A = this chain, B = another copy of it.
Amino acid sequence: MNTSSSPPRRMRHAATLADVGREAGVSAMAASAVLNGARTSARISEEARQRILAAAERLRYRPNATARALAEGRMNTIGVATTLSRNELNQYFLEVFNGVIEAAAEEGQNTTVYALPDWRDGAKRIPAICDGRIDGLILLAPLLDREAAQHLPEHTPLVSIHANCELPGVTNLESEEESGAHAAVKQMLSLGHQRILHVGGPIESLGAARRVTGYRRAHAELGIKPAADHVIHGDFTVESGRRTLEHWLRRHAGEPLPQALFAGSDAIALGCLETLRARGLRVPDDISLMGFDDTLLARSAHLATVRQPLRELGHRAVRMLVWRIDAKWRGSNDIAPTSIVLPTELVPGATLAPPRTTPLTIA
């Protein structure tokens, strides 16, 4: 019996179920059953029901999600962990994240975001992230090595998008990057381009590697062997695209200008565009350009690109994750897929044209 002789430790935020019950002359659990749909065995009489509702209204009762989470062992919140560079905003993130939020809302889940400084140190923080505030976690484009993968938390359902290596027990979502890159490069080759420079993403990213593979395969199919120095790596940002290309051009001054550029991401493509513009080179008249991802950047720059269904990946990741959370909760042993792969497609743009008839030299 709550004698309530001692003063409350803190200011009360709102009325509790016990308050409502007292006000309505019923038990807290009757109030719980009516207000929060707790599936207690018994039903409440219509009369009591009305009294409870009225009392809740009068007391401005608001359910306390933490208390419920503690009792139920479930928070109805999912997490998204990713790295967000301080210097440059990430379109890729925005697109995927939008999909995540949409789907999460549909599934009745909240979404909390964890911005890791980087994956090297960030990976260690993942177990700490899974501290009961979230029921499951989406790893967005994680760059983990096998060793780090061992330290992933075991009791929290995990899903990854564009993981760079197989993560034990984690369902990975991705798209057909290799064939997307292949199609892109093939298209450029069909236009007549022979020397295509690939300005790719980080070497440790599986997606970046697959784009290189697609690039190579498209060449190989035509019996063309791209020069070894025509594949370069940076990271996926505008700034990296700008600098990486500029450096490459400096190192190759006096040599013939590549006829086309295949960038590892739209952001990289945009950086390349800036470098080319700064050098007075016209796209696509002097040099063709393609990106990868089909983010809003591609649209704003009228960039030909390869579409990855980023938002859809976000949707699927959430559904998969919620399915796994539910499965765990029910104690089900349904087996989860290791990976889900969605198709990519070519997106036309204004940055693609046949090669110049008169080759240019790098200034």
Contacts and interface: CB of A to CB of B under 8 A. Distances in A.
A331 B66 CA distance: 21
Given A113-B111, A300-B300, A331-B11, A133 B89 contact: no
Contacts of A127: 62
B84 A132 contact: no
Given A105-B115, A300-B300, A66 B13 contact: no
A203 B167 CA distance: 50
A92 B13 CA distance: 33
Interface in A288-303: 296-297, 299-301
Contacts of A65: 131-133
Interface stretch (A69-77, A178-186, A194-202): A69-77
B113 A113 contact: yes
Interface stretch (A43-51, A94-102, A247-255, A334-342): A94-102
B13 A155 contact: yes
A84 to B, nearest CB: 6
A114 interface: yes
A14 interface: yes
A67 interface: yes
A105 B117 CA distance: 10
A95 B86 CA distance: 11
Contacts of A63: 131
Most buried by B among A67, A112, A238, A296: A296
B112 A66 contact: no
Interface in A53-87: 62-67, 69-70, 73, 75, 77, 84, 86
A101 B113 contact: yes
A110 interface: yes
Interface residues of A, number: 50
Contact of A89 (B67, B88, B238, B296): B296
A115 B101 contact: yes
A86 B102 contact: yes
Secondary structure of the A contact surface, majority rule: mixed
A75 to B, nearest CB: 6
Contacts of A140: none
A137 interface: no
A20 interface: no
A130 interface: yes
A263 to B, nearest CB: 13
Given A89-B94, A131-B62, A270 B110 contact: no
A39 interface: no
Interface string A143-175: 000000000010100000000000000000000
A131 B89 contact: no
A14 B127 CA distance: 11
Given A70-B70, A101-B84, A113-B111, A132 B13 contact: yes
25 contacts: A11-B331, A13-B132, A13-B155, A62-B128, A62-B130, A62-B131, A65-B132, A66-B69, A66-B75, A66-B133, A67-B70, A86-B102, A89-B91, A89-B98, A90-B94, A105-B115, A110-B113, A111-B113, A113-B113, A238-B296, A238-B299, A238-B300, A270-B299, A297-B300, A301-B301
Interface of A: 10-11, 13-14, 62-67, 69-70, 73, 75, 77, 84, 86, 88-91, 93-95, 98, 101-102, 105, 110-115, 127-128, 130-133, 153, 155, 238, 270, 296-297, 299-301, 331
